[in-house]
């Protein structure tokens, strides 16, 4: 038989005989180009060894289906590819490559599910490994030569490899693809100093419950979504001169052993939920950080995190960023650029005592500090804040002191609702509107409006149920809405300025204020109810 006439040869073996059924080893003849099914001629074949002059180029797909008993195979120099599912689920114990092996490709699922293959040393010629090529196997050790050409660790390559505890990723690898080591018992992963790794794929180390630490190589630019989700990492460090730019959504979500992290100054974006539920005790941002946004739920439920300094580069703190975290203090780096704090960013922070907002802040979102333990609020000079949105400090039962900025125009609905410890507030002249129930059910006894007040509207229930004893309505006020001072049982005196612009007072504005005395301006005003009836009692002049 001439070699150039061969498309596929199995083995040059005699027909099945009683003796052939007991054969445990066979040498592949030199003129064989592909390995397929050998069961028809050698059903109990265990060892496959190539002739020293073998020309085999390919081990076919699903080779194992009829060769499950193979224990040993020696890959000849001539072999270029091991096909998909070639030894998946087989009894293979030993995989050896001859010197100067030329194999380029190990296709997907090639050795997945093998229970007896514990160690593999790959040759430097390998350029591509297929999806799940060793997934769900009992592999304990895999080695890459320093001269390997491999650039990618493929998706799910070592998924659920419960016996793999140690691996060194070769310097040539540029990408670790999704789920590469997820659900494995990997305890140690190392990278050479000259690592070219640029990308860590999503779910790469998810549920790695034995992994305690990792140093991210300096060339890495992206850590993808949920890369370390629910892993047991305690320490994540970054090699000097890190080029990391992006930490994606949920990258370290629920890393309950992660105690500290220093985020490189090169990081420009951190995705939502990146550290949600982590046990962080320390978070530091590199000097000259380029981060522009603290994303939604970034540090939510980080109950062990006592403090944080927001980098100067940050312009926005997104919704729920520190929801129910353990923060005791928040500081802002000098030269701050923070413009917006969004909804519920610090809601439920039960250890937070005070905050001084930077002057660059323009918007304070709804429920920002709702239900927190904050007791003091202040704003740096030259504040740009124009609005505090609804429920921002609602239920802050310990809040005793607040100094509002002179740029503020709108106090939103229920902003200080049920701030039971708040006894005094000064409304700056810039405020034009106090919205519905803004100060309702606080313990406020005194409200002072700036002499040149621009307040136009006191909204529904704005001071309902307060401990006010006296109120002087600024002359700029045009309307007092339903229940604005309703059930202020201690309210005895309402003073309305002589030059008042008041045009409308709701009939229920002072309902339930049974001790009320009203000083009325000596001119007719357009009221929907005669002013002496507002408190359901005779006017006392």
CATH number of 54's domain: 3.80.10.10
Q: Cα separations (Å) of 510 from 419, 464, 513, 532?
A: 21, 9, 6, 11
Tokens of 463: 């001071």
Q: Is residue 32 part of a domain?
A: yes
Domains of the chain: total: 1
Residue 73 lies in a domain: yes
Q: What number of H helices and E strands is found in the chain? A: 0, 43
Could you tell me if residue 404 is inside a domain? Answer: no
Q: Is residue 214 part of a domain?
A: no
Tokens coding 126: 């390998």
Distances (CA, A) of 187 to 191, 203, 210, 278: 14, 16, 5, 19
Residue 509, helix vs strand vs coil: coil
Report the SS3 class of residue 63: helix
452/510 Cα distance (integer angstroms): 25
Q: Which pLDDT tens digit goes with each residue over 215-249?
A: 999 999 999 999 999 999 999 999 999 999 999 99
**How much is the average pLDDT of 410-419?**
97
- Per-residue pLDDT band at 519 (split at 50, 70, 90): low
* pTM of the entire predicted model: 0.84
Q: Is the pLDDT of residue 522 over 60?
A: no
At 478, list the tokens: 């045009």
- DSSP-based three-state secondary structure for 446: strand
470 pLDDT higher than 70: yes
pLDDT for res 344? 98
Distance CA 50, CA 58 (A): 13
- 42 domain-assigned: yes
User: Quick check: 373 and 348 in contact, CB under 8 A?
Assistant: no
For 12-58, give the secondary structure using H, E and C.
CCCCCCCCHHHCCEEEECCCCCEECCCCCCCCCCCEEEECCCCCCCE
pLDDT band with cut points at 50, 70 and 90 for residue 78:
confident
Cβ atoms 388, 364 nearer than 8 A: yes
pLDDT band at 98 (very low <50, low <70, confident <90, very high): confident
* Token pair belonging to 528: 């929907």
Backbone angles phi, psi at 514, to 5 degrees: -75, -15
- Asked whether residue 199 is domain-assigned, the answer is no
Percent of the chain with pLDDT over 70: 83
Confidence of residue 461 (pLDDT cuts 50, 70, 90): very high
Structure tokens at 340: 């917006």
Q: Which residues of 254-270 are buried (b: 16+ CB within 10 A; e: fewer)?
A: bbeebeebebbbbbeeb
Q: Binning pLDDT at 50, 70 and 90, where does residue 79 land?
A: confident
pLDDT at 24: 54
Q: What residue numbers bound the domain in which 54 lies?
A: 1-150
Q: Give the helix/strand (H/E) hosting 460.
A: none
Flag whether pLDDT at 133 surpasses 90: yes
- Whether residue 56 lies inside any domain: the answer is yes
CA distance 83 to 12: 22
Within a domain: 139: yes
Q: Using 50, 70 and 90 to split pLDDT, how confident is the model at 194?
A: very high
- In this prediction, residue 68 has a pLDDT band, given cuts at 50, 70 and 90, of low
**Average pLDDT of 37-61?**
51
Q: What are the two backbone dihedrals, phi and then psi, of residue 21, each rounded to the nearest 5 degrees?
A: -65, -20
- Output b/e per residue, 499-508; b: 16+ Cβ within 10 A: ebebeebbeb
pLDDT tens for residues 319-348? 999 999 999 999 999 899 999 999 999 999
Nearest to 176 by CA among 194, 195, 202: 202
DSSP code, position 313 = T
What pLDDT, on the 0 to 100 scale, is given for residue 4? 36
């Amino acid at each position: 038989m001439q070699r150039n006439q061969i498309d596929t040869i199995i083995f040059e073996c005699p027909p099945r005989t009683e003796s052939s059924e007991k054969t445990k080893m066979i040498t592949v003849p030199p003129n064989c180009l592909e390995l397929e099914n050998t069961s028809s001629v050698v059903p109990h074949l265990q060892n496959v060894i190539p002739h020293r002059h073998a020309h085999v180029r390919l081990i076919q797909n699903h080779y194992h289906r009829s060769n499950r008993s193979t224990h040993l195979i020696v890959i000849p120099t001539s072999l270029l590819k091991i096909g998909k599912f070639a030894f998946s689920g087989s009894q293979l114990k030993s995989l050896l490559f001859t010197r100067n092996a030329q194999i380029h490709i190990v296709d997907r699922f090639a050795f997945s599910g093998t229970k007896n293959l514990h160690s593999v040393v790959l040759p430097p010629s390998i350029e591509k490994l297929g999806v799940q090529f060793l997934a769900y196997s009992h592999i304990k050790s895999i080695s890459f030569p320093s001269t390997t050409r491999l650039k990618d660790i493929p998706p799910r390559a070592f998924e659920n490899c419960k016996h793999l505890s140690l691996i060194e990723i070769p310097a040539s690898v540029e990408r670790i693809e999704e789920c590469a080591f997820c659900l494995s018992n990997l305890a140690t992963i190392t990278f050479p100093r000259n690592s070219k790794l640029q990308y860590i794929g999503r779910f790469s180390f998810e549920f790695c419950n034995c992994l305690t630490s990792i140093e991210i190589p300096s060339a890495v630019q992206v850590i993808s979504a949920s890369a370390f989700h629910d892993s047991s990492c305690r320490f994540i460090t970054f090699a000097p001169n890190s080029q990391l730019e992006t930490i994606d959504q949920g990258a370290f979500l629920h890393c309950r052993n992660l105690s500290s992290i220093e985020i490189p100054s090169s990081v420009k974006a951190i995705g939502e939920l990146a550290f949600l539920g982590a046990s962080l005790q320390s978070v530091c941002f590199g000097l000259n950080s380029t981060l522009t946004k603290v994303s939604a739920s970034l540090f939510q439920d980080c109950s062990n995190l006592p403090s944080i300094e927001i980098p100067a580069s940050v312009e926005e703190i997104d919704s729920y960023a520190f929801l129910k975290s353990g923060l005791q203090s928040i500081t802002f780096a000098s030269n701050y650029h923070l413009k917006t704090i969004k909804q519920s960013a610090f809601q439920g922070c039960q250890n937070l005592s005070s905050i001084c907002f930077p002057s660059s802040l323009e918007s304070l979102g709804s429920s920002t500090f709702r239900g927190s333990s904050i007791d003091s609020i202040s704003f740096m000079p030259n504040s740009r804040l124009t609005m505090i949105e609804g429920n921002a400090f609602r239920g802050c039962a310990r809040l005793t002191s607040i100094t509002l900025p002179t740029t503020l125009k709108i106090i939103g609905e229920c902003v200080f609702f049920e701030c039971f410890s708040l006894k005094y507030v000064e409304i700056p002249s810039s405020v034009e509107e106090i919205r519905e129930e803004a100060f309702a059910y606080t313990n406020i006894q005194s409200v002072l409006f700036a002499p040149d007040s621009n307040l136009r509207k006191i909204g529904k229930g704005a001071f309902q149920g307060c401990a006010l004893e006296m109120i002087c309505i600024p002359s700029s006020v045009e309307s007092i809405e339903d229940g604005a001072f309703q059930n202020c049982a201690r309210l005895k005196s309402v003073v309305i300025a002589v030059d008042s612009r008041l045009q409308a007072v709701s009939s229920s504005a002072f309902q339930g204020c049974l001790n009320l005395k009203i000083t009325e301006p000596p001119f007719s005003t357009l009221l929907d109810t005669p002013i002496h009836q507002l408190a359901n009692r005779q006017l006392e002049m």
